[in-house]
Structure 1
Amino acid sequence: MPTRLRMRAPAALLLASVLTSACAADPAPTRDLALRRVVLYQNGIGYFERSGALRNDRLKLRLRSHEIDDVLKTLVVIESGASTNTATKPSTVTVLLPSSAPRPAEGEEPEPTWLNVVLSPRPTRELSIAYAVPTAAWKAAYRVVLPDRDKGDKTAAASKAALLQAWALIDNVSDEDWVGIHLTLASGAPMSFETDLRSPRFIKRPGASYDFGETAPTGPVYAERIAIADQDADGIGDANDACPTERGALNPDPSKNGCPQLARVLLSSSDIRILSLIQFDKDSSQIKPASFILLDEVAHVLRENPRIRALTVEGHASSGEKDPWGLSSRRASEVKKQLLQRGVTTEIKTSGAGETKPIANNATEEGRIKNRRVEFHVEHAQPESDRNVPAGRATASALSQTAPAQTAIRDLAGSVRYDITHPVTIPKSSTTLVTIINEYIPGEEIFLFRPDTNMPGSDRHPMRAARIENKSGFGLQAGPVAVFGGGTFVGEGVLGKLNPGDTAMIPYGIDSSTSVEVAAKEISKPVRLISLARGQMTVEDSRILTTTYSIAAGLQAPARIFLRHIRGAAFTATDLPPGTETTQGAYLVPIPIQEKRSSTLSIEERRPERHVLDILVTDGERLAAYLHNSRLHPDVEKPIREVVDLRNQIGRITRNISAIRTQLNDLGQQSSELRDNIQAIEKTPRAGALQQRLLDRLGATTKQMDDLMAKLSTATVDLAESRARLVESLRDLRIDEVPESEDEKTGKNGAGKAAP
């Protein structure tokens, strides 16, 4: 008979004793302890709670062989009302382990085993036990319903945000039905390990012949590894834009601008078109007084048409203006200010497009005047009646009512827990779906240009994507995403883990009607002189990488396209468009677009590079370029200027010598040809006159060669003297590192700017 270890324990206790034994055939008291609660984790661990009344002193648990060790580690036994401080003492708990069973063959299911929990004396009150065992991890699946352009979806939230719905797929792979249980789904993955607790373990002790002290031997110490995910969250948000509408033509003729009869505001049943020019001077956001009449008309239309619920004023800049992104935004803000002062109560948003959307040629002043403008994009406040909405359309408002969330969400121990709010029944060997999220979050439809080898054509066309921002306050787990738009299914994407505050762009299809062309060029530009010593000049160049994106938007284009621009190694870009998001190794650059319109953006990145130039062999003009860009003290600049002038002089002499030698070579060939011709006709009596002409030409050529030889001799002497003077000037010339000026620092930074 096996020896049993008994011990008194408080109300909640872990394993009281572990003892290997052959189990006798006992009735199954687990029928008395019904399954009450299940907590499922995403690392394949499940936590199970049971409670009920025992009919004898033995609880018999039917387990699979691979579950035994996990039960031994996590088993908790609680007797209701029992305490070491009361008259009702808790029972002594003894756990009897089954004999080790042979391992099943590969592909075979292990035979179930029985674990006996003996309580002495038998509890007379309700008993609860809890333990953790391996089980199937729950999975997440999502649905994103994009803001509907169709005004049939009249839900205010749906018009400004995306509907996010999430389901949990739960697999009951156990041998029992889960009936009326309280189910919790945890997003975290608590640390859990496979541990062999059943097999006897003997610890080898060190040998000792004389020291019988009480110090126990130490075992191995294992390192604790903490893996930190590189989450790069970004945290920058962007308001939802209205659907784009057609823009009016502009008239830059000074004789006609500002005339009341030409300030046209056209209102139709479907949209508003404002066809005129709001005038701005170069680099200015102040509206010219001549445009106030147009603003009066715009304000009148907005006041008289309350169905217009939102107006977006989009500012634009021309090429050559300073800070085009900020300037275009300020122009839009100034127009908004003027409209509000005229009593407009419509919601007005502002945005700036920089110089990315020219409507005229920026190479001419007339075209630049046209491009310094604002545009008005509107949407209607009064939606169509419900009878005009086709039955069964999958709009956000409709779908939000079909799948109400069945969970209470809380944060516990660093993980999100979804507590299902009603009892759940899941038959064994079956799967069920539970709605865990059903709420509106910031979201919009966008284009995402990100060439991907898994998406053919993505190197020329952008992908349609759902851009969502996790404002739920809880992390979203990875899973597939079904995307709906316009009342129907439009595609499917994959969502990675999304932390609170993170933004995700979920591609779900490619748009072949919109094209993106990418052109890149790289040049090197002299920046400054750094130092000079022993005839060598250390200089700094700026390696400039310019990438130009040309976007031709097709039909049904969203309000924005995000360009995934890979950052060049060690390059830096600044002055990027507002709202640019940074990811690891790339920028996500937003550009406002309109259907059937073209936009262009140039991103300039710079990288400093140092070089050492040998002054004796480097072209003087190149040396002068570094000197021109450096701010030097006059006492320092003067000797360097003299050296550069000498190097330019050497360059001129060298080029002159090269030209003389070329002429000498040509004249030498002519002289050789003349001698050959004279020799050929010298015995011909009738060629006397011709021979004389050839002799005269040979004499002239010889004289030219003599003159050039004299010039060559002089130039050679001059070159030697100039070289000697240069060497002498460099002998003691030394300049320590020159500090970088603020202008030079600014010049290193790249810029993101639009091209005409």
Structure 2
Amino acid sequence: MANKWLLVAPVAGALGIGAGFGANELFAAGEVKQDLKPSVSLPLTRVVLFNSGVGYFSRSGDIEGDARVDLTFPESDINDLLKSMVLEDFGKGRISAVSYDSREPIARTLSSFAVNLTGNPTYAGIVGQMRGERIEVAVSPTAANQPGKLTGTIVGVEHQKVPVGTQAIDAEVLNMWCAEGMRAIKFADIQSLRFSNPVIESEFRRALEVLALSHDSQKKAVQLHFAGEGKRKVQVGYVVDAPIWKTSYRLVLDEKEKPYLQGWAMVENPTDEDWGGVKMALVSGRPISFKMDLYNPLYVDRPTVEPELFASLRPVTYSGGFGPEGRNTNGLALKAEQENQNRALRSMGGARAPGGAKGVAQGEKMLLADAPVGLDLRKDAAEFGRRINTGAVGNAATAGALGDFFQYVIDHPVSLARQKSAMLPIVGKDIEGTRVSIYNERVQGKHPLLGLRFKNTSGAHLNQGPITVFEGNVYAGDTRVLDVQPNEERLLSYAIDLGTEVDPKAGVGAHRITSVKAVRGIVTTVTKVTDEKTYRIINRSQTDRTLLIEHPNRTSQQFKLVGTEKPVEDTPEVFRFQTPVKAGETKSFTVKEERDVSSTVALTNGAENSIRYFISLSEASPGLKQKLETALKVKSAWDEQVRELNQVNADLARLNGDQERIRKNLRETPKEAEVYDTYLKKLAAQEKEIDALTARQKALMADEFQARKKYEDYLVTISD
């Protein structure tokens, strides 16, 4: 029974300073032993490349007893490795641990040492960190009043003004407590400095080692630890970045033979390891793949909480209860404490078990033993699903379906040196095909393209790629094909057909109203719009042609084909019409399309012209015309009221203007003048006339409102 582990996330083991630096551990059963045995080689046995930018790599081999396998990966692959690695032990063994080089931020690692070398500290900065440590200092013989060697304790570092000639400059000075008392030594006079404490010396040395190791970050070591007895097979598989595999095809056309299709897969080995006799499969599909940062240590800031402080209280004493109701409070406290311990164990993943730390360890083992075993990749043929409908393709590969994917299994082991590429044959079949000429006005306005309508009878999924076309032994052109499923038909074009010419001419077009309908005062007219295009074709070559005309598909604009031959194929972009053209023949092909365009008009009190237009349409029903004519009569009665009201308004405006003129004359005419009385009489007569017109205006306004309302109310009732 295989012990399988699906490595989906790193579980970092805590390593003490004395245990070394630069490794994380994945614990399989709560124990890690340092393996001092030589490493066992685990060769690469299977490679599966996807055209989505990843590859699956499988290593397998035999081990005996406890064994360690050392692998090396580029740092950029570690995240994918941690996300996808699967380990299997097929004998009586188990996965002990997986360890890998850490990527602890260098600043955080350096800050953990007693001597912090973060940020390139100065000489004085390093010494200043060690205040209180005993040191031995060798001083330059030229230093004034200083012995050759001093032993003492670091008090601190300060800046002082030191006279140099006639000037004073800043200098860093080390203050030491020596047997003779306090001494100040300029750092410029110090030749060497040594820490008396061997722990500090060790910390300094190891900090320098961490700095040196950080420079070589291109490769990371991964160690696989297997524990068990006897000889057995183990396997490790993982998914990492890989170049996509590409395809290219050769298509040979012959007048008497079926078209012959040859396909090649181009694979690359970008690794630093030779592939020797590996099983290889190429998968065509688009699996979802992403990257996640599982390698970099992540830290979360936590708040700092101050403990609450309470004033001290006097001890409280309690009296016992009365009779049997009294309870043992000590027993309750012990029970609560046991419950708290059990709750803590459950939160750590363990079960309720006595024995303190021993119970916790047992709980951890139980939790890991019940973990999901992950993906079973024991058999190479079942690693990516069961292949169905397999068949021989050429002499080098077997093709098969994997659900929504398709794979080519290379029939023979593949050897490919590192940093090398190879072309592997994957298809070699006769296919069904018919020569055609393909005309699309937007691609080439005058000539069609020589092409082939082929059916993928190769039995394999054809991955997208370029095709080089040969006419017999002569190069004929290049083309490109997208993914083609088995038994799917597809068009190819590879050259311009200079022997055939097409002249497209657009027709005048027509517009014809087909229906008029009214609903609650809203009249809808439907106009049939007709478009047509004629393709004039001439075949000047010595061979007959089968011409495919690609005409824009305008079904999204509600156009329908009418009076036109049914297309042999339609796509979301074009209709394809097929017509034979004999050698030397000239002919025309017309495509006619129609669509209905609807327009609506709301009949309002200002729609008289629209009403007369609808009455004139022969497509309007007699009932609708009668209702529209009645509307015009109602509109006429309203118009009469409007005319009378407008006349009264005009008369009032005229009288008001005349009165203004008379009043102005009265102000300028002496009262003794004879004309003064004439103006007064005329003004009085006009006042009486204005009163009569004002009354008439009020009555007409009411009548006009009623007439307008009657017309508007009638319009919204028109339906037919």
2:561 maps to 1:574: yes
Alignment match, 1:687? none
How far apart, CA to CA, are the structure 2 residues paired with 1:604 and 1:71?
59
Alignment match, 1:431? 421
Q: Using a 3 Å threshold, how does the CA distance of structure 1 residues 626 and 498 change in structure 2: closer, same or farther?
A: farther
Alignment match, 2:397? 407
Q: Deviations along 1:333-359, whole A, 9 cap, x unmatched?
A: xxxxxxxxxxxxxxxxxxxxxxxxxxx
Which amino acid is 2:77 matched to?
A: E
Q: Deviations along 1:26-67, whole A, 9 cap, x unmatched?
A: 89846x322211111111211111222237621000211112
Alignment match, 1:529? 516
2:487 maps to 1:497: no
Which amino acid is 1:571 matched to?
A: Q
How far apart, CA to CA, are the structure 1 residues paired with 2:216 and 2:436?
50
Q: Contact 2:22 / 2:104 at 8 angstroms: preserved in 1?
A: no
How far apart, CA to CA, are the structure 2 residues paired with 1:18 and 1:122?
27
How far apart, CA to CA, are the structure 2 residues paired with 1:450 and 1:26?
73
Which amino acid is 1:427 matched to?
A: A
Q: Contact 1:18 / 1:96 at 8 angstroms: preserved in 2?
A: no
User: Displacement, 1:182?
Assistant: 0.9
Which amino acid is 2:490 matched to?
A: A
Alignment match, 1:171? 268
How far apart, CA to CA, are the structure 2 residues paired with 1:13 and 1:203?
28
2:540 maps to 1:443: no
How far apart, CA to CA, are the structure 2 residues paired with 1:12 and 1:547?
68
Match of 1:479 among 430, 445, 465: 465
| Gaps in structure 2 of 5+ consecutive residues | 16-20, 24-33, 107-214, 308-339, 348-391, 633-709
Matches of residues 85-100 of structure 1 in structure 2 within 5 Å?
Answer: 88=92, 90-100=93-103
Which amino acid is 2:618 matched to?
A: L
User: Displacement, 1:611?
Assistant: 4.5
Match of 1:612 among 591, 595, 601: 601
How far apart, CA to CA, are the structure 2 residues paired with 1:524 and 1:206?
77
Give the structure with the higher percent strand.
Answer: 2
Alignment match, 1:243? none
| Gaps in structure 1 of 5+ consecutive residues | 1-8, 83-87, 217-400, 645-727, 739-756
Alignment match, 2:546? 559
How far apart, CA to CA, are the structure 2 residues paired with 1:625 and 1:29?
100
Q: Deviations along 1:334-388, whole A, 9 cap, x unmatched?
A: xxxxxxxxxxxxxxxxxxxxxxxxxxxxxxxxxxxxxxxxxxxxxxxxxxxxxxx
Q: Deviations along 1:702-737, whole A, 9 cap, x unmatched?
A: xxxxxxxxxxxxxxxxxxxxxxxxxx9999577866
2:121 maps to 1:135: no
Q: Deviations along 1:447-491, whole A, 9 cap, x unmatched?
A: 222245xx6xx1222122222334566643221111233553211
Which amino acid is 1:469 matched to?
A: K
How far apart, CA to CA, are the structure 2 residues paired with 1:729 and 1:22?
93
How far apart, CA to CA, are the structure 1 residues paired with 2:303 and 2:451?
65
2:23 maps to 1:37: no
SS of equivalent residue, structure 1 residue 190:
coil
How far apart, CA to CA, are the structure 1 residues paired with 2:616 and 2:489?
46
How far apart, CA to CA, are the structure 1 residues paired with 2:452 and 2:439?
13
Alignment match, 2:571? 583
How far apart, CA to CA, are the structure 2 residues paired with 1:586 and 1:110?
55
Q: Using a 3 Å threshold, how does the CA distance of structure 1 residues 183 and 532 change in structure 2: closer, same or farther?
A: closer
CA RMSD of aligned residues (A): 4.3
Q: Contact 1:28 / 1:60 at 8 angstroms: preserved in 2?
A: no
Q: Using a 3 Å threshold, how does the CA distance of structure 1 residues 626 and 433 change in structure 2: closer, same or farther?
A: farther
Alignment match, 1:70? 80
How far apart, CA to CA, are the structure 2 residues paired with 1:465 and 1:428?
40
User: Displacement, 1:184?
Assistant: 0.5
Which amino acid is 1:436 matched to?
A: I
Alignment match, 1:462? 448
Q: Deviations along 1:63-105, whole A, 9 cap, x unmatched?
A: 111122222222222223x2xxxxx3x23421111133999xx
Q: Contact 1:26 / 1:60 at 8 angstroms: preserved in 2?
A: no
Q: Using a 3 Å threshold, how does the CA distance of structure 1 residues 206 and 495 change in structure 2: closer, same or farther?
A: farther
Q: Using a 3 Å threshold, how does the CA distance of structure 1 residues 470 and 642 change in structure 2: closer, same or farther?
A: farther
SS of equivalent residue, structure 1 residue 515:
strand
How far apart, CA to CA, are the structure 2 residues paired with 1:729 and 1:17?
85
Q: Deviations along 1:148-186, whole A, 9 cap, x unmatched?
A: 3x33x3xxxx1xxx4333221111111111111111001
How far apart, CA to CA, are the structure 2 residues paired with 1:429 and 1:176?
8
Which amino acid is 2:218 matched to?
A: E
Q: Deviations along 1:633-657, whole A, 9 cap, x unmatched?
A: x65566669999xxxxxxxxxxxxx
Matches of residues 65-214 of structure 1 in structure 2 within 5 Å?
Answer: 65-80=75-90, 82=91, 88=92, 90-100=93-103, 111-121=218-228, 124-146=231-253, 148=254, 150-151=255-256, 153=257, 158=258, 162-203=259-300
How far apart, CA to CA, are the structure 2 residues paired with 1:26 and 1:562?
75
How far apart, CA to CA, are the structure 1 residues paired with 2:631 and 2:715?
9
Match of 1:51 among 44, 50, 60: 60
SS of equivalent residue, structure 1 residue 606:
strand
Alignment match, 2:5? 13
Q: Deviations along 1:219-240, whole A, 9 cap, x unmatched?
A: xxxxxxxxxxxxxxxxxxxxxx
User: Displacement, 1:552?
Assistant: 1.9
User: Displacement, 1:528?
Assistant: 1.2
Q: Deviations along 1:512-537, whole A, 9 cap, x unmatched?
A: 33222222234321111121776x85
Which amino acid is 1:13 matched to?
A: W
How far apart, CA to CA, are the structure 1 residues paired with 2:458 and 2:438?
24
Alignment match, 1:601? 590
SS of equivalent residue, structure 1 residue 116:
strand
Structure showing greater radius of gyration is: 2
Q: Deviations along 1:661-699, whole A, 9 cap, x unmatched?
A: xxxxxxxxxxxxxxxxxxxxxxxxxxxxxxxxxxxxxxx
How far apart, CA to CA, are the structure 1 residues paired with 2:99 and 2:439?
63
SS of equivalent residue, structure 1 residue 72:
helix
Q: Using a 3 Å threshold, how does the CA distance of structure 1 residues 110 and 564 change in structure 2: closer, same or farther?
A: farther
Give the TM-score normalised by the residue count of structure 1: 0.50
Which amino acid is 1:91 matched to?
A: R
Q: Percent identity?
A: 23
